[in-house]
């Protein structure tokens, strides 16, 4: 597994535990009929699990297993994928921290913008790697 995939996957595991911990706290608060206290945990719970865990894990595994160039020696524009990693994590933290700023829309907006930029950067990296096996064989 290449270094960037290890960063993506480890970060996704951290968000996974954080998201499940928040979920367990929310479910417990619901059971003790104090659900309103759990309300502000909902935003980070969803953000951590949907983007931080599933999207980030998918990107990490895709960077690892998509077809390579130069007979398997190159994964193409790794810079764009590293940029995606940085932007995605900044985005998740910003969007998830919105309740700390009393619902300030700017935090969520900037987080979403960073996440969207991360996706654009990742698509830029991954697009040329999605090709037929015959193209790989010709390179060899």
Partner 1 sequence: MPRLTRWFIKSALLYFAVSMLAGVAVSAQGVMRLPPVVAALMPVYVHLFMVGWITQMIFGVAHWMFPRVAKESADRVQRLALVTYVTLNVGLLVRAVAEPAFALRPGPVWAGMLILSAGLQWISALAFVATAWPRVRER
Closest approach, Cβ 58 to partner 1, in A, equals 9
Closest approach, Cβ 121 to partner 1, in A, equals 22
Residues in contact with partner 1 by the rule CB under 8 A: 1-3, 6, 9-10, 13, 16-17, 20-21, 23-25, 27-28, 30-33, 49-50, 54, 57
| DSSP β-bridge partners for residue 69 | 74
Residue that is written with structure tokens 């998509």 in the block: 66
Residue that is written with structure tokens 């987080």 in the block: 111
Kindly tell me which of 58 and 109 has the beta carbon lying closer to partner 1: 58
Check the CA dihedral 89-95-101-104 and report its sign: positive
Kindly tell me which of 39 and 128 has the beta carbon lying closer to partner 1: 39
Kindly tell me which of 57 and 81 has the beta carbon lying closer to partner 1: 57
Kindly tell me which of 89 and 107 has the beta carbon lying closer to partner 1: 89
* Cα-based torsion angle of the residue sequence 62, 66, 71, 74 in order, rounded to the nearest 10 degrees: -30
């Amino acid at each position: 597994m290449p270094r960037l995939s290890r960063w993506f996957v480890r970060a996704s595991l951290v968000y996974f535990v954080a998201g499940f911990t928040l979920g367990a706290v929310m479910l417990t608060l619901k059971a003790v009929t104090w659900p309103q206290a759990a309300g502000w945990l909902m935003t980070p719970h969803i953000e951590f699990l949907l983007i931080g865990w599933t999207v980030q894990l998918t990107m990490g595994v895709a960077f690892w297993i998509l077809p390579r160039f130069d007979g398997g020696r190159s994964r193409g524009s790794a810079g764009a994928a590293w940029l995606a990693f940085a932007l995605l994590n900044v985005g998740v933290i910003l969007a998830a921290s919105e309740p700390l700023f009393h619902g300030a829309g700017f935090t969520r907006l900037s987080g979403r913008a960073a996440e969207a930029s991360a996706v654009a950067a990742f698509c830029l990296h991954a697009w040329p790697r999605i090709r037929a096996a015959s193209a790989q064989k010709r390179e060899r």
